[in-house]
Chains A and B, each alone.
Chain A
Amino acid sequence: MEIKVCGPGCPKCHETERIVNEALGEAGIGIIVQKISDFSEIAKLGVFATPAVVIDGKIKCTGKVPSKKDVLSWLK
């Protein structure tokens, strides 16, 4: 599995990264989250509202900090 968190580095993006990491820990999945902060990279993923979470190339969430419960359900 490949997890990307997109965001230029605003507080919400850090929050999102933290929650995703927490969820990964809880699910016992040892993947390193990729932090994408380069705007052209973000655009190439098809994201135009940050923060966004992309798992295996699929956008799961845009423009919002997801809840841990949401993230856990995407990991299944």
Chain B
Amino acid sequence: MKTTEKINSCGCDGGVCALSAPVSQKKITMQQLSLGFAGLAAWYVLYLQLLPFSNFFAYHLLQLDQGSHLGASIQFFVYDTPKVMLLLTLIVFVVGMIRSFFTPERTRMILAGKRESAGNVLSALLGTVTPFCSCSAVPLFIGFVQAGVPLGVTLSFLIAAPMVNEIAVVLLYGLLGWKIAALYMATGLAVAIIAGWVIGRLHLEHHIEEWVREIRMGEQIIVEEKLSWHDRMRMGGEAVKDIVGKVWLYVVAGIAVGALIHGYVPENFMAAIMGKDAWWSVPAAVLVGIPMYSNAAGIVPVVQALLSKGAALGTVLAFMMSVIALSLPEMVILRKVLKPTLIAVFIGVVGAGILFTGFLFNLII
């Protein structure tokens, strides 16, 4: 089976290489430690200055009116952009270090002996911390299936990996507060766990393409060298360079759109079409979101703007989840290993989970 078309949408993060460059210091020295603390302190001081600076910039330096559309938009943009970038840098660094403990190889080993239920929970959790790239979805799927990881457990991983990631959580925290970030994380994991479990219960293993099961996968264990803290910090730094370097444009563009909506779209404009009373808006948001693809960096600022104009939280979260978790490009990739029936079930079950989440939040909040 030839599978060679181009895949352009790809949210790859770090992985593992046999580290070769000799590391001069194996232990963290006092100097490095104090440098780290100084960096953190500088980060915090900078962070505290952002709000006063944005007010100063928009209302004093540019002399815009406090209540004007332009003033509100510019203040919003000047405040949010550096804030999000600062948060992103810190969290991506920390997550980059955490990820150095988890490789797809190790995750596979952990999941190999697991049964369903507990396996689904573990799999979704590992999905959030294992470095994963959507164009690796197929080799990873094959690797998991070959290692005897149940189908449903594998799918829990594949749902959670793109949906619950540090970029989404940071942006939600930065723009909407920790409650919504925590809510998103918890419900995202729940959707991944339950959807994977349900698909496992349906026993659709025969809807995996035959060639996947026929492959004798080469057994290879990549030589994992012992990483020192120094190496892990280096990996964190590389993750920052890599991820922040890639998503900053989305963040800026997203915040710019958010700023425009923030300044110019009237309050409660969204209430009629995306508000609580419009029950049909949740399924509509999910249907619109499924074929769309954007990473978290692009979608969260838009989400924030929608919320501030009266859209209901459940509707907006459902929209965000369906955009990030289910996308046309990913389905095209997965189609190589899953038969159409299984793809349809996958979309149906995950979509239903997201729909339920949306309704639930609109009901209780």
Binding site for B on A (CB under 8 A): 6-13, 37-40, 42-50, 58-64, 66-67, 69-70, 73-74
Partner of A49, one of B2, B140, B211: B140
In this complex, how many residues of chain B approach chain A with their Cβ under 8 Å: the count is 45
A10 B2 Cβ-Cβ under 8 A: no
Which residues of chain A are within 8 angstroms of B222 by Cβ–Cβ distance?
A: 59, 62
A49 B133 Cβ-Cβ under 8 A: yes
B16 A9 Cβ-Cβ under 8 A: no
Partner of B138, one of A39, A63, A74: A39
Q: Is B336 interfacial (CB 8 A cutoff)?
A: yes
Q: Quick one: closest B residue to A47, CB to CB?
A: B139
Partner of B104, one of A43, A45, A62, A70: A62
B218 A45 Cβ-Cβ under 8 A: yes
Which residues of chain B are within 8 angstroms of A46 by Cβ–Cβ distance?
A: 217-220
Distance, CA A67 to CA B8, complexed state (A): 22
Interface string of B187-212 (1 = CB under 8 A from A): 00000000000000000000000010
Binding site secondary structure of chain B: loop
A64 B16 Cβ-Cβ under 8 A: yes
Q: Quick one: closest A residue to B214, CB to CB?
A: A40
B135 A61 Cβ-Cβ under 8 A: no
B21 A70 Cβ-Cβ under 8 A: yes
B1 A38 Cβ-Cβ under 8 A: yes
Least CB distance from B102 to A in Å reads 11
A63 B133 Cβ-Cβ under 8 A: yes
Distance, CA A32 to CA B19, complexed state (A): 24
Known: A12-B10, A37-B4. A61 touches B18 (CB 8 A): yes
Known: A48-B136, A49-B104. A73 touches B220 (CB 8 A): no
> Of residues 124 to 151 in B, which have CB atoms within 8 Å of A's CB atoms?
131-133, 135-136, 138-140, 142-144, 146
Write 16 A-B pairs (CB below 8 A) sorted by A numbering: A8-B7, A39-B1, A39-B142, A40-B211, A43-B139, A43-B142, A44-B216, A48-B105, A48-B139, A48-B140, A63-B16, A63-B132, A64-B15, A64-B16, A70-B18, A74-B20
